[in-house]
Amino acid sequence: MKIPVTKRIFDLMLSIKGLVCSAWFWAFIGILIILEDGFPVVIRQLRVGKNGELFKSYKFRSMRRDTLGEEVCPQAVEHDPRVTVVGRFLRRTALDELPQLINILLGDMSFVGPRPILPREVEVMANGGCVDVQHIKGYGERIRIIPGLTGIAQLYAPRDITREEKFKMDIEYISKHNFLLDIKLIFLSFIVSFNGAWEKRETKLQILKNR
């Protein structure tokens, strides 16, 4: 699916502005991460991009160093013991994803779109088993467009619903997406970040309900 020119221009302008305005904050976050759990500060992970092409995604490290070597990565859950104290703050405010402004600038990502998934990401089932997310219904449709920082699923999906349900939300965005919808989702994301509610499911949904 071709990226609208207006969407790409908007991504470029906003990512450049975001990188310039947040440059000082990167050092502050880096110091906090180092003081608690050492290096690395920023991690690079292979992620699945548009049409299944892999790219390196940048994020501030929010999990313990001993998780970096995990070959299979289950999705993080609320109160995940792998997440550091600083990491919890970064995740609540979505500041862990600040380095992904670089990915947006490079064209690997957009501000709005389906969340980029790890190549070997799995979903933990209720019976304790695991399933590769690539085998979940809707996966093929959601990778038709460039992934994003935020979107319908990121905002409105409770963390504990199934991937198939989240993928349905991604497909809903693909069928409806337009510039005004992107602006709305970005605005709502800023509100959730300001309230530090990304990791607080009920709080996040209540904030969105009042908008």
Domain boundaries, the chain: 5-209
Report the pLDDT value the prediction gives residue 82, as an integer from 0 to 100. Answer: 86
- Of 5-19, 73-87, 155-169, which range is least confident? 73-87
pLDDT of residue 158: 74
Helices marked H in the chain:
5-37, 85-93, 100-106, 139-142, 152-156, 163-176, 179-194, 201-209
Residue 207 has pLDDT above 90, yes or no: no
Mean pLDDT of the chain: 88
Structure-token pair, residue 57: 């995604």
For the segment 60-81, the average pLDDT, to the nearest whole number, is 71
**CA distances in angstroms from 208 to 91, 143, 190, listed in the order given:** 18, 26, 11
CA angle 80, 83, 84 (to 5 degrees): 140
Stretch 8-13: mean pLDDT:
95
- Supply the pLDDT for residue 211: 61
pLDDT digits (tens, 9 = 90+) for 17-51: 999 999 999 999 999 999 999 999 999 999 999 99
Q: Looking at residue 160, what is its pLDDT?
A: 72
Peptide bond into 40 cis (omega under 30): yes
